[in-house]
Structure 1
C-alpha cells in the first residue's frame, strides 16, 4: 500500500479527555504532582493521528507510531478537559507526518510533530512470529 494514494494533507481528527488520576505523573512516579503526564498527552496525540487516517487505509493495514517530537507546555490537573488535535502535514509512501496540539480550554498545553508508518498486519505478524 502506498499512503500517497489514499491519504491527503489536511486530514485531521480531534479527541477530548477529562484527565483521570490514572493519567497523572503522580500515579506513575511517587512524590510527583498529580498533573497530566507527558507520555499520556503523547498517547492522545498518537491516537488522534491514527484516527485522522484509519478509515482510509486498506483492509489489513494499520499505522504505528515511529517518531515523536513533542513539547509539553503547561500542567493540567485531574478533572481538566484536554482537547487533542492531529493534522496530516506530509505523506510519503509508507510514512504519514502530523502536526499535533493539545489544549486545556484555549490554553495550548502541548504541540509538536508525530509520524506514523504503514504496516501490513499479516506480514508484520509473520515477520515477528505473532500468533
Structure 2
C-alpha cells in the first residue's frame, strides 16, 4: 500500500518540561538526581517521530519502531524544557527513516536516527498471537 500523504522533509516538533519523573535517579538509569535520563530522551524522540506519521495513516494502520540510535550530548536539568524535532529523511516502501534532534534552552542536547515501519494493525496482532501461542501450555 502506498501512502502518498507522507513525504521526506515532513517534520514535527514537540516540547516537554523535565520533571522529577524524567530524571536519571527516578527512572533508575543513573544516580544523578536532577538530570534528564537518557531513556526519557529516547522516548521523547520516538514520540516525536510517531507524531509525524501516525496521524496521517488510514484506519487500521500504525507505525512500529525497528531501530533507534541516539547520542545524548549534554545534560539537561529538571525544570528545563526539551524541544525535540523529528524529520523524515527517507522513505523506502513501508520503512520511514527519521533524523531527530533535541535541544534545551542552552543548545543541542541530543541527536539520533530512528526507523519506523508502517504496518497493518490486524496483521501485526495476528503475528503476535501466532508467536505467543508457543507460551501456552499444550494439552498432554
Determine the C-alpha separation between the residues in 1 that align with 2:29 and 2:55.
40
Do the aligned partners of 2:25 and 2:32 also contact (CA within 8 Å) in 1?
Answer: yes
Equivalent residues in 2 for 1:61-100, closer than 5 Å: 61-100=61-100
Which residue of structure 2 lines up, in the alignment, with residue 17 of structure 1? 16
Equivalent residues in 2 for 1:1-131, closer than 5 Å: 1-3=1-3, 5-29=4-28, 32-34=31-33, 35-129=35-129
Determine the C-alpha separation between the residues in 1 that align with 2:30 and 2:82.
24
Change (3 A) 1:13 1:31: closer
Q: How many Å apart are 1:31 and its aligned residue? A: 6.6
Q: State the structure with bigger RCO (CA 8 A, min sep 6), 1 or 2.
A: 1
Q: How many Å apart are 1:17 and its aligned residue? A: 0.4
Determine the C-alpha separation between the residues in 2 that align with 1:74 and 1:30.
16
Unmatched tracts of structure 1, length 5 or more: none
Structure number, greater radius of gyration: 2
Unmatched tracts of structure 2, length 5 or more: 133-140
Determine the C-alpha separation between the residues in 1 that align with 2:29 and 2:71.
23
TM-score, length-scaled by structure 2 = 0.85
CA-to-partner distance for each residue in 1:58-107, whole Å, 9 max, x for gaps? 21100011111110001111111110100000001111000101000250
Determine the C-alpha separation between the residues in 2 that align with 1:51 and 1:119.
16
Runs of 4+ residues over 2 Å off in structure 1:
28-31
Determine the C-alpha separation between the residues in 2 that align with 1:31 and 1:88.
31
Structure 1 stretch displaced more, 72-81 or 26-35:
26-35
Q: How many Å apart are 1:6 and its aligned residue? A: 3.0
Determine the C-alpha separation between the residues in 2 that align with 1:90 and 1:58.
20
